[in-house]
Amino acid sequence: MQIVDNDFKEIENKLSQIPQEKIDELASTGEKTLLDNLQKIVKYSAKLAEIADANKLSTSDSTVEFSPQSPTLDDYDQQFTIIRKPAIAYNFQQDLIFAYLQVAGPNPLVIEQFQVSDSRLPVTAEQYSQIAAKFGFADSLEAAMADDRLYIADYALLNSLVNGSFISQELEQQKYIATPVALFAVPPADSWSRPLFPVAISYQRTAISTEWILFTPLDGESWMTAKNIVQMTDSNYHELISHLGRTHLVVEPFIVPTNHLPEDHCLRKLLVPHFEGTVLINYGAHAILVAPGGSVDSLLASSVGGDQAMAAKATQSYLFNFNEISFPQTLANRRVTDINKLPTYPYRDDGLLIWNAIEIWVRDYFSIYYSNDSAVKNDTYLQTWASTLVSLQGGRLQNFGDDGQGKFNTINCLVKTISTLIFTASAQHAAVNFSQQEMMYTPAFPLARYLPAPINPQDPESFIKGLPSLTQAQNQINTLYLLGSVYYTQLGKYSPSAFPNNNQLQAALKKFQDNLKAAETTIKERNRNADRLMPYEFLLPSQIPQSINI
């Protein structure tokens, strides 16, 4: 059976079919070189796929026989003979790893502090104490609530998605989406260790049912299935909302107004390196990945129309409220800033290092050009840029600028806005894009389920039965390997011609680069700590590109 399909060759073919006028347009924006590089990468990946297929994805001389009806975890593992098997493959079934992914996985953006009782999660005091004891902690539900040590991952944003389907060899296979809610807890402050641990998972019996079914770590095999359903839902949330909707599409409206600024304007000089490649990759996503019949349509759980609408909705939720989407603000909105209540949160802790370095750099940079707030207010080019972004004929942003209507009156607001934009284009995208390397392992991150969710917590059915087929798993590897493996440029390393040869500016830039080096050292030290169950490397400055270019 041929396991590796022709996805890479198809992408290569479609890249070669980009209209000449589009290539000319990319050349005028400096992105033609990136197009050439991307085509080379895809050719390399296609060659890798050919090698894998020629070797039957096995190091042995014998042909690997897969059973398409009942694959085992070993069958999924053998798909990684050529490409390195993600580390998550070795421990994804562990409960503490499942919880750890909420704070250090591909999508550490959902978890929030649980403040009020929720009828969807009818966990009893007795159940909670038993679950805490299972993980080695003496705790009560009442104490956890009083100490604000409960956290929730709620996927209700995906409620509008419907089940999709996948057509293989003229047979239509039903896919299933779900919108579970998961409850987690942190042990008391005096505990020997304080890892986040899972308490319960609940989801609706049917899409239109008002009955919610509760699963806990005290249940049998069905608990593993419930965790797998959360991982499937989280993966769809990640791709449509956190990744495509809230990085790629959020940055895009800023590119044209920025290119209309005078070439020597300080804002254009600062932003252009952080937009390199974004037009190209977004065009490719629209034409290939998110198009009907593309990878998103094939792999994700819902229909391509529903997926497109969800990504657009996610984008609007940020662009229509831009003043509230800075990195520190999003953490505060989810009430996850207190390290005493949530001590282990690598995405938060490492992200703040990068945010602080970017914000200091942006403030130092603008201090060279704007001596006071009046200078910002009187910069007609800046004000035109902002007014274009809020206009109905432009970016249609809302809650943008000091007055929320696209007017910048202060240096502080300008610094926060541009820091948010640069962070989104660099660190935020890196966190959700390069983690796709881990998501190549389908059993840990299924992009769809192929059986209805169990409705009986005592159901002994293995979670493996509902996983995507080996063919779909290989498609997932092909797509996510390409998207998660391309590193082009590095945060803080601007081209020599990016800025004027100004001593004050060069000093500010060196300070930025030094801060990033210090952050790199700190993150590497943190990754050696026992509280990090797996190293979190997606926000190492050396692994963060300047822009969204893949």
pLDDT 10s digits, 465-477: 999 999 999 999 9
Residue with tokens 């539900």: 141
pLDDT 10s digits, 20-32: 665 555 554 445 4
- Rounded to whole angstroms, the Cα distance separating 177 from 165 reads 11
In a 13 Å sphere around the CA of 544, the CA atoms on its Cβ side amount to 31
- Rounded to whole angstroms, the Cα distance separating 330 from 173 reads 38
Q: What pLDDT was estimated at residue 326?
A: 99
SS3 81: coil
- Domains and their CATH numbers in the chain: 7-108+234-446+467-543 (1.20.245.10)
Averaged confidence pLDDT in the chain = 90
Nearest to 145 by CA among 165, 170, 128, 126: 128
Least confident of 30-44, 180-194, 417-431: 30-44
SS3 120: coil
Q: What pLDDT was estimated at residue 209?
A: 78
Least confident of 1-5, 108-112, 166-170, 256-260: 1-5
Confidence of residue 481 (pLDDT cuts 50, 70, 90): very high
Q: What are phi and psi of 400, to 5 degrees?
A: -130, 125
User: At a CB cut-off of 8 Å and minimum separation 6, what does 285 contact?
Assistant: 244, 248
- Rounded to whole angstroms, the Cα distance separating 275 from 206 reads 43
Q: Is the dihedral of CA 111, 117, 122, 124 positive or negative?
A: positive
Are the beta carbons of 99 and 196 closer than 8 angstroms? yes
Are the beta carbons of 153 and 182 closer than 8 angstroms? yes
Q: What pLDDT was estimated at residue 512?
A: 99
Nearest to 461 by CA among 235, 236, 234, 215: 215
Confidence of residue 172 (pLDDT cuts 50, 70, 90): confident
Ranked by mean pLDDT, the top range of 45-54, 160-169, 345-354 is: 345-354
pLDDT 10s digits, 537-546: 999 999 999 9
Least confident of 40-49, 135-144, 268-277, 289-298: 40-49
| E strands present in 96-246 | 112-113, 150-154, 165-168, 171-174, 181-185, 197-204, 212-215
> Mean of the pLDDT values across residues 482-501?
94
DSSP string, 124-136: -HHHHHHHHHHTT
Confidence of residue 36 (pLDDT cuts 50, 70, 90): low
Q: What pLDDT was estimated at residue 23?
A: 55
- Rounded to whole angstroms, the Cα distance separating 394 from 400 reads 13
pLDDT 10s digits, 298-348: 999 999 999 999 999 999 999 999 999 999 999 999 999 999 999 999 999
User: 490: which 2 tokens?
Assistant: 């590095």
Q: How far is CA 66 from CA 1, 79, 319, 411, 494, in A?
A: 8, 11, 47, 62, 49
> Mean of the pLDDT values across residues 37-65?
41
Q: What pLDDT was estimated at residue 49?
A: 43
Q: Which long-range contacts (CB under 8 A, 24 or more apart) does 371-379 make?
A: 372/411, 373/409, 373/410, 373/411, 376/408, 376/409, 376/410, 376/411, 376/414, 377/408, 377/409, 379/408
Are the beta carbons of 549 and 276 closer than 8 angstroms? yes
Nearest to 313 by CA among 252, 254, 248, 245: 245
In a 13 Å sphere around the CA of 234, the CA atoms on its Cβ side amount to 31
Q: What pLDDT was estimated at residue 128?
A: 98
Q: What pLDDT was estimated at residue 4?
A: 36
Q: What pLDDT was estimated at residue 39?
A: 53
Total-model pTM: 0.90
- Rounded to whole angstroms, the Cα distance separating 439 from 312 reads 23
Ranked by mean pLDDT, the top range of 75-84, 209-218, 220-229, 411-420 is: 411-420
For the chain, percent of residues with pLDDT exceeding 70: 87
Task: Number of helices (H) and strands (E) in the chain: give both, helices first.
Answer: 22, 7
pLDDT over 70 (residue 37)? no
Q: What pLDDT was estimated at residue 421?
A: 99
